[in-house]
Chain A
């Protein structure tokens, strides 16, 4: 039953460009990118029990490396993508060693501090990153010679990547490693006594989450054809975290729903309200106070309750 529903969903997603205009197709592309980013963060937050406020680092660094290599050093998109992902993953390995010296709030603070340092670097090192001006005039890759410049073609590209990412992460969380990750999240001491190495499990997950964060960063810079230090900022990390928590961090579907909601809110709200950050802050407060486990678990609980009949 689940498979049929998923297949129908994927098919209708593929058919989107045939009945929607460019504006909506582009919006859908942005949602797909945000979904990958949120899913990668959720590996850490929901499945690993490690709340990070610095995840935008991976999106931003991958985007900047690709931007610099293609626009300034004449690299082709293929090699640039490989180097970008490799570099981001290596950075995740390095940051992971530092951040995992602590857990809980200490971990959160370290990830925040590290990502702020990167953000500061992106701003200050203007001769490399162009500082506050960002890097513009970028191009999209042409996989197999196919141009991605139209809204529809980029959308399908993003859909393929996002579906693949979702599938890979679904496999990851239901594997034996995934089970050990959830175990370490719930009872790390018990897991150690049973023979699992909690640090290694966390570190590998951290790297994997950084990897997919980098993938979302590549899609991000291809879509926007522009990169700016704001994408490395705490606000960017916070938006992703809000999406994960609002959607429900214990599931795979939750972050996707949450990311979509945050993006839609941002797009529509910014048309009416100048101060998006203030709205974001208020939404944070609201979600945490009123719906702490998120929308998807809340809805599924509602569905279960309805199925069981009223008590």
Chain B
């Protein structure tokens, strides 16, 4: 599946999503370049997570398009988009809590490989999967906990596992949904430096409420409110913009 080359890693074109009578996304368009670090901000209910759900395919829009590297993926199922290089983390951590960290990461690695359909050989047969899983866990500083079940480890460590799983597949576009939520100060700086060290081959789009930390990581910012894009552009320009202050302070 060689995708077409395009100027943009991710394009969202005139997206609309309504639940019954409630219009959550009124008309959102985005254009994000490869390697960009985009932060999406906005008050609660602005439609940020719903937007992510449309991009990842967990929900279908009422109208509009989503393009990954020029290919229209609007009708693609979530798992197909994963094969297109899309990866995401969730607001609520959804790891396999009874399984070990190693197994969690292994599943993350297995998802894009043909060997996931193998019904014959035990998973342990794939030595390269185990090696790679260890490397991934090491990169987030959790190799020493590899044999522990996820239910045993701390919340901040689980966030790192989630991040590790998302990065393990070397995605081309990574969606991070509130990666810093609920973390203590030390955990926050650990995760922040992890996000900062993501290679440029991965385009990073982040939703975050903790602006102090997140703004450091962002190059461009999009402000959403009531399902519309209010301001969109370079970080400093958006912060200085009058409309940003309006949205947050209601002035």
Contacts and interface: CB of A to CB of B under 8 A. Distances in A.
A and B assemble together: yes
Interface of A: 171-172, 174-180, 183, 186-187, 189-198
Interface string B140-175: 000000000000000000000000010001000000
B171 to A, nearest CB: 10
A175 to B, nearest CB: 5
Given A190-B94, A193-B56, A195-B82, A176 B115 contact: yes
Contact of B96 (A174, A178, A183, A193): A183
B82 A174 contact: no
A175 B119 CA distance: 5
Contacts of B57: 192
A183 B118 CA distance: 15
A311 B82 CA distance: 47
A195 B111 contact: yes
Given A183-B107, A189-B94, A195 B121 contact: no
A193 B162 CA distance: 12
Contact of A174 (B78, B90, B122): B122
B116 A171 contact: no
B185 to A, nearest CB: 28
16 contacts: A175-B118, A175-B122, A175-B123, A179-B107, A179-B110, A186-B96, A189-B58, A189-B94, A192-B57, A192-B82, A194-B111, A194-B165, A195-B83, A195-B111, A195-B112, A198-B79
B244 interface: no
**Overall SS of chain A's interface:** helix
A33 to B, nearest CB: 24
B150 to A, nearest CB: 11
A183 B95 CA distance: 10
B120 A194 contact: no
Given A189-B94, A194-B108, A195-B82, A177 B169 contact: no
Interface of B: 56-58, 77-79, 82-83, 87-88, 90, 94-96, 98, 103, 106-108, 110-112, 115-124, 126, 165, 169
A180 B114 CA distance: 12
Given A193-B87, A197-B79, A177 B111 contact: no
B149 to A, nearest CB: 12
A180 B79 CA distance: 13
A179 to B, nearest CB: 5
A247 B24 CA distance: 48
Contacts of A179: 103, 106-107, 110, 123
A128 to B, nearest CB: 35
A177 B117 contact: yes
**Overall SS of chain B's interface:** mixed
Contact of A175 (B95, B108, B120): B120
Nearest to A190: B94
Contacts of B95: 187, 190
Contact of A176 (B78, B82, B110, B169): B110
Contact of B111 (A171, A175, A189, A191): A191
B157 to A, nearest CB: 17
Given A177-B117, A180-B107, 7 more contacts: A176-B115, A176-B117, A177-B116, A179-B107, A189-B58, A195-B111, A198-B79
B120 to A, nearest CB: 6
A153 B115 CA distance: 41
Contacts of B79: 191-198
Nearest to A192: B78
B56 A176 contact: no
A289 B229 CA distance: 53
Given A179-B107, A179-B110, A192-B78, A174 B123 contact: yes
B126 A176 contact: yes
Identify which of A177, A178, A190 gathers the most chain B CB atoms within 10 Å of its CB: A190
B82 A178 contact: no
B110 to A, nearest CB: 6
A196 B116 contact: yes
Contacts of A197: 77, 79
Nearest to B88: A193
A195 B32 CA distance: 23
Given A194-B82, A194-B165, A176 B123 contact: yes
